Chain A
Amino acid sequence: MSGHWETVIGLEVHCELRTETKLFCGCRNAFGDEPNTNVCPVCLGLPGSLPVLNRRAVDYAMRIGQALHCDIRRSIFHRKNYFYPDMPKDYQVTQYDEPLNVDGWLELPDGTRVGIERAHMEEDTGKTQHVGVSGRIHGADHSLVDYNRAGVPLVEIVGRPDLRTPDDARAYVTELRAILVATGASDGKMEEGSLRVDANVSVRRPGGPFGTRCEIKNLNSVRSLGRAIDYETRRQIDLLESGGRVVQETRHWNEDEGRTTSMRSKEEAYDYRYFPEPDLVPIDPSEEWKAAVRSALPVLPAERRRRLAAAGGTTPGDVALLVELDLDELVTAAIAAGAEPRLAINRAGNELAGDLEAARHLDPARFATVCRMEADGRLTATQAKQVLAEVLASGADPEAVAETRGFRPIESGALDIAVADAIAADPEGWARYLAGEDKVAGAFVGKVMKATGGKADGKAVTAILQARRSSAG
């Protein structure tokens, strides 16, 4: 990317709440059911029907606000008016200038804070399927609408334009998703559309005023998000550098072609004619309700990273993966049980990450024992991995496993003898090693390993070789 430009990214994330029922009626909130089976007069917007707010949805929305450090306020619903066949009432009930959650932030694993402007409640629309060649509205023969999703509760999380790179954007969505799942408010499934991301992208000279932004829609994975931002940044820079200007518009990401195309410009933008929804009363959560939401909130990813990093003597960024994999509690417990922190973190990130299902049942004390045996030199790295694999598989006692497998450390005298034998058998190699050719050490280690039936610790052998060279020099 051209060094003269900076990308400015702000994300809008729509998150479906995992309530049993819809936002304003008692219909089931479920993905993948037979079309138009979870519908009633209210979510079909039949004449005379009225909405009744789902209290659980408000509770979930407040959890999200709390987790994002927002101010939770008295809020009201508005109607957003526009005609579209997947909207049964031809207006969407949403929150406009008095949203439930405002002014929060989210912390990325590297410690960066991204501002959250608001996280407001609204109802989802149905799904339109354009039946025809292209699958898009142009060129379709006819359309089918499934209203099962109409009225499903959503929270829209509007981030501030604090992100600067596709990596940041991906990290933001990953972190936000983890928070949403942790609060229990959402299942965070991008592939089922329960988490949907729109990106506002602009470019500017560093330190200069914001450029004109484009909103990119149809981002169906974290990967598409990164690709689309890359593409859009390039497109805007090329435009500007060739003397053109960026037009504010909504653009559609085409995953197959790897590019964005114009959907509608600002001039064509709808006038939504927002006004307060007269069929609903304000949401004015009591202090008791807010306190109950606060106290029911689980420990969130940022805090879990901090706790593990503190226990492991490392940085939150270093342990992000373990928190993401939900291995942090196990590792923290193992460290508390005496495992050497660095070793526990490494073994968890490498060995346990390979079998998360088994890791969930692993006794932290046994995991700590394996780490301690390795740190004490009672197991070589290779042996430790083998023991850990068996403990994972069977839940057996690591000491017993080592015993059964005959993993006993070679006494240092025996190891010295084995090293001396190896040197004696290869005087030419030894001469080269003495001359400073370090890579020859590998051959000696291999020979010692073979001679000891794999029981030798490679690091210990290397140490002996180095000691001998020093004294020879």
Chain B
Amino acid sequence: MSAVSLAADVRAGRRSAVDVIDEHLARIEAGDGAIHAFLEVTATAARARAAAVDARVAAGEDPGPLAGVPIALKDNLCTRGVPTTCASRILDGWRPPYDATVVSRVVAAGAVPLGKTNLDEFAMGSSTENSAFGPTRNPHDPSRVPGGSSGGSAAAVAARFAPLALGSDTGGSIRQPAALCGVVGLKPTYGLVSRYGLVAFASSLDQIGPFAATVADAATLLGVIAGHDPLDSTSWDAPVPDLLGALGRGVDGLRVGIVRELGGEGIAPDVAARVGQAADALAAAGAKVDEVSVPAARYALSSYYLIAPAECSSNLARYDGVRYGLRVPGDDIGQMYGRTREAGFGAEVKRRIMLGTYALSAGYYDAYYGQAQRARTLLIRDFAAAYESFDVLLSATAPTTAFPLGAKTTDPLSMYLSDVCTIPSNLAGHPAASVPFGTGDDGLPVGVQVLAPALGEVVMFRVAAALEAAAPPGAGR
């Protein structure tokens, strides 16, 4: 059942929120042992919150557009009094004294958080295998990864543990797992959703976004979390457009560009075939489809792997054992720092901190970080040129369907390539959505990505809804 209809039932008093929550908690209880989508299930708090929603309905009040809807929260979103681990040992024992803005907003809209979902440590990874607490498995095939870094949130929605989930997307961490798990996932325009309370990985790229089983549910959730927040200086101070209203408007007359640089060799043929099929479906619905070149997209991956690590090397400096989280004592402060960070961080996090530290070092800054920022500027320019002729762009979300656990853990570069199609939108700050569109040769879900210009969420949702309507049957479950 969709989040929208669940909320309608709860608001109308046809169903109690407690009943909804109990049903989902039972599903988690029964199924999450095999999936490991959750790091922590906050059952008691969820039931109490659901009871409060029911009480408001009974009192004739409106608990909000997400009344009684269960929601799963990626564990890099701060939750007051509830451990927020970022799937890292270094935050051992830390309980935030505050809620992230998005958490406050979904709760204010009546949603009921069920718990915190697994992720690659500090959101660094594409398979959720970099979690300090063990990997999450793909509900469509538990021998395969759910993608990452928001693998827990994607799996939670795919396994119907929750109809909605929140994730964060720095280089594809919502869209890629959404594609691999066969759910809708999107990264909004940078600044549309407040980052306050999202534990930072790469601040200029991070953005929170929704996972849902349907495009309408994703639009509803985005409508709730979007909008200006005075606590985030980079948040847009502009009204949120009517996203739900966009869904029924069709794509007649829209110009859709297939991005040449995000297709070709690196994309598995079965996935590429689905992208072509999606383009045909849009054309059949009245869109004008053509190929387009965004030349600087070729430099996106390498630029990203300088900018994101550079920012992460600074953002993760604070985990030093002085104030909170893990502390491994030493003879002096330097030794304490070293031992704490050695014990607290996993291999991928350390790799990126080292990469970033190097990229920012005196004498190297211009050749690495500086050059990457110039490539970023070029990319934004090339996107702008493409959007002069096209309303949206289309590509695969991920190069392949879900791969087996362990397949890429020994080869970081091949893992990094999982995000080749999603990274450009982060660098540009643009919105992009992944919509399930049939399956690959292996019967596993394929996602098609819709890219739009900054604040182009309305046109992005029009196309996403059309793709959803035209999609071939998904992976069965």
Contacts and interface: CB of A to CB of B under 8 A. Distances in A.
Q: Do A and B come from one complex?
A: yes
Interface of A: 41, 44-53, 79, 81, 83, 85, 88-91, 143, 145, 271, 273-275, 278-281
A91 B203 contact: no
A280 B233 contact: yes
Contacts of B310: 275
A273 B361 contact: yes
Given A83-B337, A85-B322, A47 B232 contact: no
Nearest to B311: A278
A53 B318 contact: no
A14 B299 CA distance: 42
A131 to B, nearest CB: 13
B198 A48 contact: yes
Interface string B79-97: 0000010100001001011
Contact of B203 (A41, A85, A279): A279
Contacts of B198: 48
B78 A50 contact: no
Contacts of B98: 41, 46, 48
30 contacts: A41-B97, A41-B98, A45-B318, A46-B324, A47-B86, A47-B199, A48-B78, A48-B98, A48-B100, A48-B196, A49-B197, A50-B233, A52-B230, A52-B233, A53-B233, A81-B317, A81-B360, A89-B317, A90-B318, A271-B361, A271-B362, A275-B310, A275-B311, A275-B314, A275-B369, A278-B203, A278-B234, A279-B200, A280-B234, A281-B233
Most buried by B among A52, A273, A274, A281: A273
A119 B198 CA distance: 33
B437 to A, nearest CB: 34
B333 interface: yes
A88 B323 CA distance: 8
B204 interface: yes
A342 B404 CA distance: 95
A44 B98 CA distance: 13
Contacts of A145: 322
Contact of B318 (A89, A143, A273, A280): A89
B195 interface: yes
Interface string B346-375: 000000000001001110010001000000
A407 to B, nearest CB: 69
Contacts of A48: 76-78, 84, 96, 98, 100, 196-200
Given A50-B233, A88-B318, A273-B314, 12 more contacts: A45-B318, A46-B96, A49-B196, A51-B233, A52-B230, A52-B233, A81-B313, A145-B322, A273-B357, A275-B310, A279-B200, A280-B233
Contacts of B197: 48-49
A47 B314 contact: no
B434 to A, nearest CB: 25
Nearest to A80: B314
Contacts of B337: 83
Given A48-B100, A50-B195, A51-B233, A85 B333 contact: yes
Interface residues of B, number: 43
B385 interface: no
Contacts of B360: 81, 273-275
Interface string B296-333: 00000000000000110110011010111000000001
A388 B432 CA distance: 81
B231 interface: yes
B316 to A, nearest CB: 9
Q: Across the A-B interface, give the 5 residue pairs with the lowest CB-CB distance, nearest first.
A: A90-B317, A278-B204, A273-B360, A278-B203, A47-B199
Per DSSP, are chain B's interface residues mostly helix, strand or loop, or mixed?
loop
B314 A91 contact: yes
Contacts of A49: 196-197
B285 to A, nearest CB: 39
A47 B317 contact: no
A373 to B, nearest CB: 64
Interface in B218-238: 230-234
Contacts of B100: 48
Contacts of A51: 233
A108 to B, nearest CB: 36
A79 B314 contact: yes
Given A271-B362, A275-B314, A278-B311, A47 B233 contact: no
Contacts of B196: 48-50
A143 B204 CA distance: 35
Contacts of A143: 333
A210 to B, nearest CB: 22
A46 B322 contact: no
A306 B365 CA distance: 49
B150 to A, nearest CB: 16
B84 A47 contact: yes
Contacts of A274: 360
A278 B233 CA distance: 10
B354 to A, nearest CB: 13
A288 to B, nearest CB: 19
A277 to B, nearest CB: 8
B36 to A, nearest CB: 23
A50 B203 CA distance: 10
A19 to B, nearest CB: 17
Most buried by B among A47, A52, A275: A47
A90 B337 CA distance: 11
Contacts of A85: 320, 322, 333
A49 B77 CA distance: 11
Nearest to B86: A47
Contacts of B317: 81, 83, 89-91
Contacts of A91: 314, 317
A280 B233 CA distance: 6
Nearest to B341: A83
A176 B78 CA distance: 45
A273 B369 CA distance: 11
Contacts of A50: 195-196, 231-233
Contacts of A275: 310-311, 314, 360, 365, 369
A80 to B, nearest CB: 10
A45 B316 CA distance: 11
Contacts of A41: 96-98
Most buried by A among B86, B200, B311, B314: B314
Contact of A46 (B97, B204, B313): B97
A47 B198 CA distance: 8
Contact of B314 (A52, A81, A88): A81
Contacts of B357: 273
A90 B233 contact: no
A130 to B, nearest CB: 10
A444 to B, nearest CB: 79
A88 B315 CA distance: 11
B301 to A, nearest CB: 20
A91 B232 CA distance: 19
